[in-house]
Amino acid sequence: MSDVPLETSISTAARPPEDAALLAVPFAADLDPPVGLPVPAAALLACYEAKGEAGEIVEVPVARGEAVGRILLYGIGDGSADALRKAGAAVTRRGRGREEITVVPPGASAGAVAAFTEGALLAAYTFRIGETAASSRPVASIRLVTGATGAPGDDRGTGAPGDDGRTGDAAETGGTGETGTAAVEAGIARGRAVAGAVALARDLANTPASVKTPAWLAERAAEQGVTTRIWDERELRAGGFGGILAVGQGSVSPPRLIQLSYEPEGEATGHVVLVGKGITYDTGGLSLKPTEGMKFMKTDMAGGAVVIAVLGALAALGARVRVTGLIAAAENSFSGTAQRPSDVITQYGGRTVEVLNTDAEGRLVMADALAYADAELDPDVMVDIATLTGAIGIALGKGLGALFASDDGLAAELAGAGEASGERLWRMPLIDDYVPALESSVADLANIEAGSAYGAGSITAALFLREFTGKRPWAHLDIAGVGRSTVDEGLSAKGATGFGVRLLLEWLSGR
């Protein structure tokens, strides 16, 4: 994986410095912080009516010789991984504009430290072209204290309920001393790897389309330290990738198909193909979007960005499964050469599609990639991820990604990974009664519902993709509602969220 420049660094120290200007300590009524409070902790918490909820912070001034420092008592809620991510995010956000925060971790286990680190670094993410005001910059450094870990009164650390603190093969449980230090270091490493991958996905999606052509995206993908193959427009034409070519033919920036291949050390436990939508900008084509609908379309390749970031991070997490990533990249523009409503195109493998709406382009490029994966790569499982339909944002809002799956076991695995990673999914139905919505009078399929009364745009889009999976176990993640954020709060920054990176890394590293 290329080094993702996270703006906030994380290091360790055996003890907090006596002159720490800002010290953050886990929140509990029986707290015995390593630097004294002016009054008993229980009295302070009662005064502020603090409940210890995840992300809750009580700030207390303390004497530092002639100066004044501050202690942040931060709530850890139920101690679950999700609660610790929220706690890390809250601490980082409170330190915005500062050079350093010293933090007593919320537990001694690698799992607790990984979750806290992940939340802290995700909340520190920024993307800006130009100067950033000093007060708006994320905290430059977080120092975790290895000699004072664990929830108050618990020398084992804080993990998810029912969890022994283990996260992956590298995790270790333990209290203070060498075992605790090793666990903290392992947790930091995992948290940094996951947060770095999310930051990469966000960076790619947030980059303006004036820079982010399909060729540029292919170049960034090739930097991830895995085997790379890139099809240019001539190779796409020779290979019969009619969907990718049709979508990209209206742009001066030609399309690309990007293939990334991760091979684990030793025998692989299976082969997974990930397919990502890589529309670097979406005007809607000749079925032109209104201005408001175009403003965020530089992030319409968020699914492709997730696939690139995941492939780059697998080695750092020690994933044992073989993974192939396919990113179908094109710019959906309008010009005299753009595809027209009523055109019939031939997808990879020979299926013909009547294009009734050029703004339903993501499914056309992904159909090529899915059909290629089925015919040539022989995967055990295929999963695609895309900002595919506006309808899913209406159905599920901004807090849940949509999961469609042809296999119940695969659906359960992905839903479980979503819960564990904090990127929750809601399973949606694949209703076979809606398949006639895709019928065309002149081609094998239509790319949208052709004047019938079915509706359910997200479901019919998923059914369209299913036609190209060859009946293999397959799942489709529609992240149109959760792939972008309009606010800067919690773990998210305004702009691309990188949704899907954490849940796919959780799923793949456990296979």
CA 137 to centroid of chain Cα atoms: 22
Residue 309 contacts residue 503 (beta carbons within 8 Å)? no
CA 42 to centroid of chain Cα atoms: 38
Cα-Cα-Cα-Cα dihedral sign, residues 259, 320, 510, 199: negative
Q: Is residue 209 part of a domain?
A: no
Q: Do both 167 and 258 map to the same domain? A: no
What is the spatial distance between Cα 153 and Cα 26, in angstroms, rounded to a whole number?
11
CATH of the domain at 172: 3.40.220.10
Q: Is residue 51 part of a domain?
A: yes
Residue 289 appears among annotated catalytic residues? yes
CA 307 to centroid of chain Cα atoms: 9
Q: Is a pLDDT exceeding 50 seen at residue 477?
A: yes
Question: Could you report the per-residue pLDDT of 409-428, keeping only the tens digit for each?
Answer: 999 999 999 999 999 999 99
- Which pairs with CB-CB distance under 8 Å and at least 24 residues apart come from 46-54? 50/75, 51/75, 52/27, 52/28, 52/76, 52/77, 53/77, 54/78, 54/82, 54/83, 54/84, 54/86, 54/87, 54/90
Q: Is residue 321 part of a domain?
A: yes
Question: Could you report the per-residue pLDDT of 220-262, keeping only the tens digit for each?
Answer: 999 999 999 999 999 999 999 999 999 999 999 999 999 999 9
Residue 288 DSSP symbol: P
Question: Could you report the per-residue pLDDT of 72-131, keeping only the tens digit for each?
Answer: 999 999 999 999 999 999 999 999 989 999 999 998 899 999 999 999 999 999 998 877
Strands in 352-355's sheet, in edge-to-edge order, are: 343-346, 352-355, 445-446
Whole-model pTM? Answer: 0.92
Question: Which pLDDT band holds residue 45 (cuts at 50, 70, 90)?
Answer: confident
Q: Do both 234 and 193 map to the same domain? A: no
Q: Do both 55 and 146 map to the same domain? A: yes
Strands in 322-332's sheet, in edge-to-edge order, are: 227-231, 256-262, 322-332, 271-282, 381-386, 474-478, 401-405, 425-427
Percent of the chain's residues with pLDDT above 90: 77
Q: Do both 27 and 86 map to the same domain? A: yes
Q: Do both 315 and 188 map to the same domain? A: no
Q: Is a pLDDT exceeding 50 seen at residue 176?
A: no
Q: What are phi and psi of 32, to 5 degrees?
A: -125, 80
For 271, the domain range is: 228-509
The catalytically annotated residue of 190, 363, 466, 484 is: 363
Residue 263 contacts residue 227 (beta carbons within 8 Å)? yes
Q: Is residue 213 part of a domain?
A: no
Q: Do both 323 and 184 map to the same domain? A: no
Give pLDDT, residue 35: 52
Give pLDDT, residue 485: 95
Q: Do both 163 and 237 map to the same domain? A: no
**Residue where a domain stops, chosen among 200, 215, 240:** 200
Token pair recorded at residue 282: 């979406």
Q: Is residue 250 part of a domain?
A: yes
Q: Is residue 242 part of a domain?
A: yes
Residue 363 appears among annotated catalytic residues? yes
Q: Is residue 383 part of a domain?
A: yes
Token pair recorded at residue 505: 């890394």
Q: Do both 157 and 276 map to the same domain? A: no
- Relative to beta strand 445-446, strand 352-355 is parallel
Q: Specify which of 18-22, 48-52, 210-214 reaches the highest per-range mean pLDDT.
A: 210-214
The catalytically annotated residue of 98, 289, 427, 511 is: 289
CATH of the domain at 275: 3.40.630.10
Q: Is residue 4 part of a domain?
A: no
